[in-house]
C-alpha cells in the first residue's frame, strides 16, 4: 500500500471519530491514459477537506464542488464515469480522451476503516469487500497477487503494508539508496552495528537500528513486500543476514560487490543450510548496468533492478552488471579479471 492511500484511510478514521460525514472515492477502471492507477483513492470530508488523488486534479475539483453545493448526501455506494465524451475529456483534463470510472462510497462506523487500519499495522494483506447494493463491508485475508475486483454487486479492494527496504550498512551509498527509496515510498530500515558509521546517519524518514543484521532480518519477519540489500562489504555482517533473508519471503535479496567477490560470497553461503533454489535468489553484483561510478548513480542502478523485480519485469542478461561488464571486456579484448 502506498503511504498516500494509507493517509486516506487514516483521514477517514479521524473524520468519522469526529462525527463528520465523509466519502471514499476509488478508481476502479481506466481507459486510455490516466494519471492515477486502478485502486487509487481519495477521501472527501463534508467540511471540504480532501486527502489523496484520483486524477490530475480536475475530477477532484468536480467532486469537491458537488460536496460544497449539496453536502454528502449519498446513502449507498455509486459508480460514476468521467470522460465518455470528448467534451468531458477536455473539461476534466483527461489526456488522449481517457475515461475513468470511480466508486464513491459514503463511510460510517460500519465501514470498518479502523479495523482495516489495525490489520495493516500488523502487516497483514487484507481484502475489503464492499457490497455495492447495501453498502455492507467485510474484511478477509488476501492472497499475494490479488488485484482489485469489481462486479455488478460488489467491489473488493486489496490493502497491504507499505513496501519495505532493509539496508545493511550506513555508509555513503546507503544514504543515497535510502533517500531515493523513501522518495519511492518505501519504508526504509538501515541496520549497522558499527558505531563509527551509525553516529553520522542523518536521513530523515528512515529508521536506524544497531543490532546485528541477521537478528534484524529475523525480527522484521520479512514478507513478499520486503527487499534486503547488503552494502557493508564485510562478510561478518552481510553473510548471516543474507542467509536469513534468502530463507524469507522477501521479493529481493542482493549484495554489492565485484564479480569475483560475488562468486566468493556464493561459495561461503553454500556452507550454510541453504538450498540451491534459495541461493539462486541472491542478486549480485546488484544493479542495472548504466556505467555508474558515483554513489548516487549506483543507488539508482540498484533501485532500478529492485523495481523491475517488484513489478515482475524480466531483465535480460545484457543489462545486468555481471554480464554487461564481461561483454565489454570481451569487446575490448581485455582478460576477464573478475572485477
What one-character-per-residue DSSP string does 34-56 give? -SS-TT-EEEEETTS-EEE-SSS
- Verify that 94 and 176 share a domain, yes or no: no
Mean pLDDT of the chain: 88
- Verify that 57 and 186 share a domain, yes or no: no
Between 201 and 2, the higher pLDDT residue? 201
Compute φ and ψ for 326, nearest 5 degrees: -65, -40
pLDDT in tens, 32-65: 666 678 889 999 999 989 999 888 667 888 899 9
Most confident of 18-27, 47-56, 156-165: 18-27
Across the strands, what pairs with 159? 126
Domain count of the fold of the chain: 2
Question: Average pLDDT of 136-154?
Answer: 91
pLDDT reading at 144 higher than 80: no
pLDDT in tens, 75-105: 999 999 987 566 665 666 555 556 889 999 9
pLDDT in tens, 255-299: 998 888 999 999 999 998 899 999 999 999 899 988 888 999 999
The answer to the question of residue 239 being in a domain is yes
Strand order in the sheet with 282-283: 207-209, 187-191, 164-168, 226-230, 252-255, 282-283
**CA 246 centroid distance within chain:** 20
Q: Last residue of a domain, which of 103, 135, 159?
A: 159
- Verify that 169 and 293 share a domain, yes or no: yes
- Verify that 144 and 173 share a domain, yes or no: no
Between 335 and 329, the higher pLDDT residue? 329
Q: Last residue of a domain, which of 134, 159, 184?
A: 159
Lowest mean pLDDT among 16-25, 75-84, 145-154, 328-337: 328-337
For the stretch 161-184, what's the b/e string if a residue is b when 16 or more beta carbons lie within 10 angstroms of its beta carbon? Answer: bbbbbbbbbbbbbbbbbbbbbbee
Q: Last residue of a domain, which of 104, 130, 159?
A: 159
Question: The domain containing residue 294 runs over which residues?
Answer: 164-332
- Verify that 154 and 168 share a domain, yes or no: no
- Verify that 136 and 192 share a domain, yes or no: no
Amino acid at each position: 500500500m502506498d503511504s498516500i492511500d494509507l493517509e486516506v484511510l487514516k483521514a477517514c478514521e479521524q473524520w468519522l471519530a469526529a462525527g463528520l460525514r465523509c466519502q471514499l472515492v476509488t478508481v476502479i477502471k481506466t481507459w486510455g491514459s490516466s494519471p492515477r492507477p486502478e485502486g487509487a483513492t481519495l477521501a472527501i470530508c463534508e467540511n471540504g477537506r480532501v486527502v489523496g488523488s484520483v486524477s490530475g486534479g480536475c475530477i477532484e475539483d468536480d467532486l469537491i464542488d458537488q460536496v460544497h453545493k449539496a453536502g454528502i448526501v449519498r446513502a449507498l455506494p455509486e459508480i460514476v464515469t468521467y470522460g465518455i465524451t470528448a467534451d468531458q475529456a477536455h473539461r476534466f483534463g483527461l489526456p488522449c480522451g481517457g475515461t475513468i470510472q470511480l466508486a464513491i462510497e459514503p463511510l460510517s462506523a460500519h465501514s470498518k476503516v479502523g479495523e482495516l487500519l489495525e490489520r495493516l499495522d500488523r502487516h497483514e494483506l487484507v481484502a475489503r469487500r464492499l457490497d455495492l447494493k447495501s453498502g455492507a463491508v467485510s474484511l478477509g485475508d488476501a492472497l499475494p497477487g490479488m488485484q482489485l475486483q469489481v462486479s455488478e454487486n460488489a467491489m473488493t479492494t486489496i490493502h497491504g503494508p507499505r513496501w519495505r527496504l532493509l539496508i545493511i550498512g550506513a555508509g555513503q551509498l546507503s544514504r543515497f539508496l535510502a533517500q531515493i527509496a523513501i522518495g519511492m515510498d518505501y519504508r526504509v530500515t538501515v541496520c549497522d552495528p558499527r558505531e563509527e558509521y551509525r553516529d553520522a546517519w542523518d536521513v530523515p524518514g528512515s529508521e536506524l537500528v544497531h543490532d546485528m543484521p541477521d537478528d534484524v532480518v529475523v525480527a522484521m519477519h520479512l514478507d513478499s513486500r520486503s527487499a534486503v540489500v547488503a552494502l557493508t562489504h564485510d562478510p561478518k555482517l552481510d553473510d548471516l543476514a543474507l542467509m536469513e533473508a534468502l530463507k524469507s519471503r522477501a521479493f529481493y535479496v542482493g549484495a554489492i560487490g565485484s564479480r569475483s567477490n560475488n562468486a566468493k560470497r556464493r561459495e561461503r553461503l553454500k556452507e550454510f543450510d541453504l538450498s540451491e533454489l534459495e541461493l539462486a535468489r541472491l542478486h549480485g553484483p546488484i544493479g542495472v548496468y548504466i556505467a555508474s561510478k558515483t554513489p548516487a548513480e549506483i543507488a539508482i542502478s540498484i533501485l532500478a533492478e529492485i523495481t523491475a523485480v517488484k513489478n515482475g519485469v524480466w531483465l535480460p542478461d545484457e543489462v545486468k552488471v555481471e554480464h554487461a561488464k564481461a561483454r565489454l571486456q570481451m569487446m575490448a579484448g581485455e582478460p576477464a579479471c573478475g572485477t
